[in-house]
Amino acid sequence: MKTYVTNVFVDNQEKAEKFYTEALGFTVKNNVPMGENRWLTVVSAEDPNGPELLLEPSDHPAVKPYKEALVADGIPAHSFQVRDLEAERKRLGDLGVEFTVEPMDAGPVRMAVLDDTCGNLIQLIEMTDATQIAGE
């Protein structure tokens, strides 16, 4: 068994598509109209056949308080692995991405947290132990 699709609730699919593709570097895998919304998934450019991230509309009434509670407590909705956190921080900062937590050591990883502009905090992780790097 493996992860096929996971989701992040977004306030605006167009804005999310732009942020996740243009800033974070994901590529669109599926873009299927479904009434007012779309089945919109993105994948890592480094792993185009890997797990899909569904940019899911925040329409359900339970989603708004859930997202607000996570953000208020500083809890990221997702965590993405990067090879060089400092380089990603600089690249994303140059694009105007706002970080709520600057890069810091956290046990066996370095981590930072950014605002995805769609109502979520996203954690970036760099594995500091070379044996823990995914795919290697």
Mean pLDDT of 76-95: 97
Q: Which of 112, 74, 97, 78 is nearest to 9 (CA)?
A: 78
Give how many domains the chain has, as a whole number: 1
pLDDT digits (tens, 9 = 90+) for 6-61: 999 999 999 999 999 999 999 999 999 999 999 999 999 999 999 999 999 999 99
5, 78, 45, 33: CA torsion to nearest 10 = 50
The percentage of residues in the chain with a pLDDT greater than 90, rounded to a whole number, is 93
pLDDT digits (tens, 9 = 90+) for 94-103: 999 999 999 9
| First and final C-alpha spacing in the chain | 20
pTM attached to this predicted model: 0.91
CATH of the domain at 73: 3.10.180.10
Q: Is residue 126 part of a domain?
A: yes
**Owning domain of residue 80:** 5-131
List, in sequence order, every beta strand (DSSP E) within 22-64.
Answer: 27-34, 37-43, 52-57
- Strand order of the sheet with strand 5-10? 5-10, 52-57, 37-43, 27-34
pLDDT of residue 133 exceeding 80, the answer is no
pLDDT digits (tens, 9 = 90+) for 114-132: 999 999 999 999 999 754 5
Q: Is residue 136 part of a domain?
A: no
